[in-house]
Amino acid sequence: MLFDFYSKTRSYSEEICKPLKIEDYIPQPTFFISPPKWNLAHTTWFFEEMILKQYLPGYKQFHPRFNFLFNSYYNSLGERTTRQSRGDLSRPTVEEVYQYRHYIDKHMQILLKSDKLDSILENLVLLGINHEQQHQELFFTDLKYTFSLNPLLPAYNENALCEDGEDTYKEFVSVESNIYEIGYQGEGFCYDNELAHHKVYLQPYEIRKDLVRNGEFLEFIENNGYHRFEFWHEEALNWLKENKITKPWYWFQQDGQWFQYTLAGPKKLNPDHILTHISYYEAAAFAQWKSCRLPTEFEWEAASDQFDWGKRWEWTESAYLPYPGYKKDKGAVGEYNGKFMVNQKVLRGSSVATSENHSRKTYRNFFHPNMGWQFNGIRLAK
Amino acid sequence: MLFDFYSKTRSYSEEICKPLKIEDYIPQPTFFISPPKWNLAHTTWFFEEMILKQYLPGYKQFHPRFNFLFNSYYNSLGERTTRQSRGDLSRPTVEEVYQYRHYIDKHMQILLKSDKLDSILENLVLLGINHEQQHQELFFTDLKYTFSLNPLLPAYNENALCEDGEDTYKEFVSVESNIYEIGYQGEGFCYDNELAHHKVYLQPYEIRKDLVRNGEFLEFIENNGYHRFEFWHEEALNWLKENKITKPWYWFQQDGQWFQYTLAGPKKLNPDHILTHISYYEAAAFAQWKSCRLPTEFEWEAASDQFDWGKRWEWTESAYLPYPGYKKDKGAVGEYNGKFMVNQKVLRGSSVATSENHSRKTYRNFFHPNMGWQFNGIRLAK
Amino acid sequence: MLFDFYSKTRSYSEEICKPLKIEDYIPQPTFFISPPKWNLAHTTWFFEEMILKQYLPGYKQFHPRFNFLFNSYYNSLGERTTRQSRGDLSRPTVEEVYQYRHYIDKHMQILLKSDKLDSILENLVLLGINHEQQHQELFFTDLKYTFSLNPLLPAYNENALCEDGEDTYKEFVSVESNIYEIGYQGEGFCYDNELAHHKVYLQPYEIRKDLVRNGEFLEFIENNGYHRFEFWHEEALNWLKENKITKPWYWFQQDGQWFQYTLAGPKKLNPDHILTHISYYEAAAFAQWKSCRLPTEFEWEAASDQFDWGKRWEWTESAYLPYPGYKKDKGAVGEYNGKFMVNQKVLRGSSVATSENHSRKTYRNFFHPNMGWQFNGIRLAK
Amino acid sequence: MLFDFYSKTRSYSEEICKPLKIEDYIPQPTFFISPPKWNLAHTTWFFEEMILKQYLPGYKQFHPRFNFLFNSYYNSLGERTTRQSRGDLSRPTVEEVYQYRHYIDKHMQILLKSDKLDSILENLVLLGINHEQQHQELFFTDLKYTFSLNPLLPAYNENALCEDGEDTYKEFVSVESNIYEIGYQGEGFCYDNELAHHKVYLQPYEIRKDLVRNGEFLEFIENNGYHRFEFWHEEALNWLKENKITKPWYWFQQDGQWFQYTLAGPKKLNPDHILTHISYYEAAAFAQWKSCRLPTEFEWEAASDQFDWGKRWEWTESAYLPYPGYKKDKGAVGEYNGKFMVNQKVLRGSSVATSENHSRKTYRNFFHPNMGWQFNGIRLAK
């Protein structure tokens, strides 16, 4: 059964690459984007380096340089290609990377069908699967970013992840002050940053049931919101100025009309659709303009049964910090979360690009406040 | 009585400049340092721009360009000299800046002795005084930074702020889990970021009674602490590498011995003295090496009656964020705190350089995690 | 016959791409490198934009965005992709670029076989052909650079451009002081920067018959040459320091032995082979260490019948400047040379990667003094 | 008599500082500017380090750290303060620097009045004097630059170096083709870069008798000259764009009128006065717009008896390169010129700020092509 989960996840990574041309596997236009080829190899490397090399007796590595080439950020596993140079590598070819995947899959099958499977190993495999699901989401958001820079504005797929709407409208839910329980509890898989389960006292608050729409954000723009310093953090103002930002990343105007680039190609902007690809800086400024604020991650979690979520990663006001009693895992796996716990913001929920079974209400995603290339949205609180 | 407080504060700013040569008033070696001349003028500008121009009928500004020259970061008060260029300005001369101060003091006396003094104005004056006290502390830390770069290693004053010791040693206080009250309550002056008073639930924790000493940190260095990635945040590792950091800023070795630069000149490092001038990155790595952590700002405040504090600003694990119910003030004064509430860490306590009456247990100082030029120290928790 | 020259040149560009994988057409690891796909399209764009659109009645452009995508630096032909972003473009695909080439070739055939062919047009076609030959050389040098960064050190072709030797050894030719004639004269094709033919007075000098070998440069390294400031220009010292340069670009040491990366893969360094991939800074420092100097471009040209040349582009001491009486062409073609005549050095000769018929003794190549990715070598003078 | 020359030069350096406030001695707003205090100390250091330490028996250095502090770029004399940090040093005080000067002067008097004075030493002293004269010119141009950045636009002196006119107007001199003799010949002092005397063949040319005026350059601006790429070098276009340059550095517009900042304060722009503070990039573009060009340094020298010069350093088309037969001096003195002979342009003549007796027609000044803070002008040729 673990092998079934493994297999399905691995197949899905290859399935979503089908619309690609070989050329699309290569470019990396900026440091935070990974090329599809690198994604396919790096998720495979995780199983080889963390699992097969440790647990499958007699395992022979596929290629002596692949540990160097496809390590992302694990300092304990040795040196690695610099993060900016992933797009400089034409070799190994795409075909060789698929061979690498199938070689690993074959050996993982041997391991997973053997009687070696204790709970430590099982947890590692689950981590590897969840890791690959994260990269499936990144596949979509990275490709969207790269394609959006191409003057030809290519489409990935005519039906892909079209931007979308919602039913309820601008209603707020009220939540009472109380002690709430926060963090993951139970037996399934979760990341170490969702532990330990603990108590938080919340003052009374209100939180909106639906997410902010394109039309509302357009009003902010038309109200000169990007140029009214009183709504913005000081660092946000510098970011706006240095990058000349006056609108969400994928929006553009042509002949007086607003469009947004989507994975189905450029589309006319629909004011009722849910706003997406917004940075924390923009989210926070928008909220201030609305005389609201963003919820904290605790407010979000405590109220999460009272609204629909799952279409956008939702920025919170909370900084990404360890929960009280947080323990990071030993060894390379311990580098997964803890070392990023400074200068980032927590996002809650999940998005249209998130893989199936890869979301829960205790999940803590995190990004730097200037990042908007994920399917990020805004939920207001007050 | 308000005028007495005003006068004393103003005089103290000039008194601490007495050991300076004219030349010392000018340089600004890096963007986060201000020259003494600029400090003297900028604190004066605050009273002119925020108070005299608004509240003293018939007031004539001292000089038409001084608003531009000595504004620090108030967007609502118009354009300003770029922050990096404060050391490029030889004019106005130091003497002219003292004339400016005395002109403002004369008019502040008229205003403060008149019957115009409602509570809004009183609060503004108190803010101006507290603002000047903050710059008195910056005077010492900025001068120390500038002097430390000079190959002549000049002394400010033979008796100045010598590094110091403490009595208790490595004992921890235990605190029970409970709901604690956090934030300022009462009638005296406080900043808007200390409001509103609210409740926080804390899990049980221990916090150390004394601050970390030089000797303990030396062990960390000798134990190769600066090169063991497992103790550091990912961003910290980049910071160490780019800046080639392997020791606290003011420490240096000569003939196999450790020294630190102080405002009394270079001194042999005393292992029993309290460690100072440490960044958050170093504080957090050190704490991990000790199998401890830094306290949150709430843990610090809840336990602050059970240990001595006041010699070092103490890094906390908490990000600088608005308290629930935080409201920023209207107008230019509202730019004092709120717009910095992203990507900074909270420090609690106060330091040997803090002006008298300028500390309380609810006070929230904040800096970026790489900053170590304040008299910052480490208090451990677990 | 012009069409034959056109055809052969165009075919050769495609022939040299045959050993490539699709993936190899894409990456651009640094701004001065162009991806093979871009080279193939850009040389084609030249014929479309400069010739077909102007001279073939009824010509329909292949794609409306290709002028934007494949313009290199012609300001008069409108906006263009930034030079650093050529590797970010996965589309058009390689196949589409070949379609583009064949579409243009078909129309060029119609034009060149028509009776439209006056001498202005003929000269433009010749310029386009020479332009494509220049990019054939860049194809090799750019690919070598990109492959050399790949930890797999792939080979382009087992027999490709192996490094090479020479017969004569360390002999100098003496040249008398006199007035010499410099620059192109005659009827064939030349660039505008080789005109006008003019007189130069030269003092007596000596120039070496053979080029500097690997072994001689190894002595320079072993003699600590990279660290002896007295041989280097001030700007060269900064360049060495910032880029941590201590050896020629493609050299590396393994187990105490010297190797160099070549297009046939890594090879043991042969001390008798001709040194290559050297910057002007290194060439000038080496010459000083030898108590020699580099020749001026006039000394080189005046003596060029007395030695063999054609294996390396040879750095001269001359800055790239207009000849007396230089006139740049009107329109876009005038942007080919003149606007680069500042801060670059002249190279004379040609290299193992230069296309057949693309060299003559008046040819002036030019690069910034830090550039070493061409097959550059050193000829000494005194 | 050498001592008289020494004394006058040394006094003049102090005399021109008399209008300064202490504060003016300190700031260094950019890397290519030196503070007056540093200039005064550095010229003194030259005599101490190059002469007194070598030639005056029993000489005791003034201060052990001054060699480190006031070395400019002599690699052979050990480490030095980084060039950008000269404005960070408040100590030694201005008074201490004057003490340093007088201490050196006293010892130089002993040396120069002794019988130790052979021709090597005499030449070194002459070099030190000429070096100090160069810094006297830099004193004016650097101060002008620093003051121009101060929003108060202070005046150095009401009568200082006012911008100036000329009599002749737009006439050209014709020069025949011939072999001309170039370089210094004779017994007086000259720099090593003016040697060796040699022959150059020149094609016929014309050179303008007067320098370009403000009014002519204004026409260039009004004719959109800064935005017409066809007149500019490619590197110049990048420079214009990055620095947003649309006019000469010290020009500014107020209420529709043009002004220029001068050392006598801001003045209305006089169209008949000679244009100044122009970079090579601007000079070359202006010349192209006029359908002219800049002269080479050889053309300038060969015709220099036929026009008045001495008010502006005049940009030439020539790159700064060694003359045939150039030999650089041994030891530290050899670092004076040769190592800068790449990527710079030669200027000929001298300027209103040049010290008396510090110009001759063979003098070769040199700067990077973007530099305009000297009193640079334009003489046209064709």
CB contact under 8 A, D91 and B21: yes
Name the residue among B179, B233, B325 with its Cβ closest to that of A341: B233
- For residues A161 and C105, give the distance between their C-alpha atoms in angstroms, rounded to a whole number: 40
Q: What is the pLDDT of residue A163?
A: 63
Residue A159 has pLDDT above 80, yes or no: no
Q: What is the pLDDT of residue A337?
A: 85
Determine the pLDDT at residue C167.
63
How far apart (Å, rounded) are the C-alpha atoms in residues B344 and B369?
A: 6
> Which chain D residues contact residue C322 at CB under 8 A?
293, 317
Task: Kindly identify which residue of chain D lies nearest to residue C237, measuring between CA atoms.
Answer: D339
Inter-chain CB pairs, B–D, below 8 Å: 89
Amino acid symbol at A248? P
For residue D167, name the pLDDT band (cuts at 50, 70, 90).
low
Phi-psi region of B244 (alpha: psi -120 to 50; beta: other; left: phi over 0): left
CA nearest to A145 within chain C: C88
**pLDDT tens by residue, A186-195:** 888 999 999 9
Question: How far is Cα B306 from Cα B315, in angstroms, rounded to an integer?
Answer: 18
Reading the block at residue D149, the tokens are 């950045």
* Closest listed residue to residue D263, CA positions, set D155, D165, D352, D354: D155
pLDDT confidence of residue D236: 96
D167 or B381, which is more confident? Answer: B381
pLDDT tens, D144-156?
A: 999 999 999 999 9
pLDDT digits (tens, 9 = 90+) for C36-66: 999 999 999 999 999 999 999 999 999 999 9
Q: Residue A343 region, left (φ>0) first, then alpha (ψ -120 to 50), else beta?
A: left
- The whole-angstrom separation of Cα A336 and Cα A338 is 7
Q: Are B282 and B244 in contact (CB under 8 A)?
A: no
Q: Which of D201, D280, D320 to mutate: most C Cβ within 10 Å?
A: D201
Encoded tokens for C39: 């080279």
CA distance D134 to A264: 66
| pLDDT tens profile D55-94 | 999 999 999 999 989 988 777 777 677 888 899 999 999 9
Indicate the burial class of D121 (C-beta count within 10 angstroms; 0-12, 13-18, 19 or more). Answer: middle
What's the pLDDT at D375? 96
Residues of C in contact with A91 (CB under 8 A): 21, 23-24, 150, 152, 154
Would you call A260 helix, strand, or coil by DSSP? strand
Q: Give the count of beta carbons closer than 10 Å to the beta carbon of residue C123.
A: 13
How far CA B251 is from CA of B24, B247, B248, B254, in Å, comes to 23, 7, 6, 10
Report all structural domains of chain D as residue ranges with CATH numbers, in order of start: 2-148 (1.20.120), 172-377 (3.90.1580.10)
In this prediction, residue C292 carries a pLDDT of 96
Give the range among A261-265, A360-364, B262-266, B328-332 with minimum mean pLDDT: B328-332
Task: Work out the mean pLDDT of chain A and round it to a whole number.
Answer: 93
Pick B90's closest partner by Cβ from D24, D81, D85: D24
Would you call C341 and D233 a contact, using CB atoms and an 8 Å cutoff?
A: yes
Q: Which residues lie across from A252 on neighbouring strands?
A: A259
Q: Is C20 exposed, middle or buried (0-12, 13-18, 19+ CB in 10 A)?
A: middle
Q: Considering only A81-85, D138-142, D265-269, which range has the smallest mean pLDDT? A: A81-85
Nearest residue of chain D to residue B150 (CA atoms): D89
Residue D345, φ and ψ in degrees, nearest 5? -110, 145
Q: pLDDT tens digits for chain C (382 residues)?
A: 899 999 999 999 999 999 999 999 999 999 999 999 999 999 999 999 999 999 999 999 999 999 989 988 777 777 677 888 899 999 999 999 999 999 999 999 999 998 768 889 999 999 999 999 999 999 999 999 999 999 999 999 887 766 676 666 789 999 999 999 999 998 889 999 999 899 999 999 999 999 999 999 999 999 999 999 999 999 999 999 999 999 999 999 999 999 999 999 999 999 999 999 999 999 999 999 999 999 999 999 999 999 999 999 999 999 999 999 898 877 777 888 889 999 999 999 999 999 998 999 999 999 999 999 999 999 999 9
Average pLDDT of the segment spanning A100-124:
93
Instruction: Say if residue A280's pLDDT is above 80.
Output: yes
Residue D168 has pLDDT above 90, yes or no: no
Residue C219: the pLDDT is 98
User: How far is Cα C161 from Cα C178, in angstroms, rounded to an integer?
Assistant: 39
Instruction: State the pLDDT at residue B167.
Output: 63
Pick the residue from chain A with its C-alpha nearest to C146.
Answer: A88
Kindly determine whether residue C88 and residue A25, on different chains, have CB atoms separated by under 8 Å.
no
d(CA D191, CA D334): 10
This model of the complex carries an ipTM of 0.93
Range A199-222 average pLDDT:
97
Cβ pair C27:A26 closer than 8 A: yes
Site from A175, A201, A205, A333 to mutate, B interface, most B CB atoms within 10 angstroms:
A201
Residue A332: per-residue pLDDT:
76
DSSP calls for B192-245: GGGPSPEEEEE--EEEESSPPBHHHHHHHHHTTGGG-GGGS-HHHHHHHHHHT-
Q: In which element (H, E) is residue B122 found?
A: helix B119-149
Q: Rounded to 5 degrees, what are φ and ψ at A99? A: -60, -40
Q: Kindly give the parts of chain B with pLDDT less than 50.
A: none
Given A22, A65, A151, which is nearest C69 (Cβ)?
A151
Please give the share of chain D, as a percent, with pLDDT higher than 90.
85
Tokens 């958050």 correspond to what residue?
B280
The partner residues of B182 in beta bridges, in order of sequence, read B198
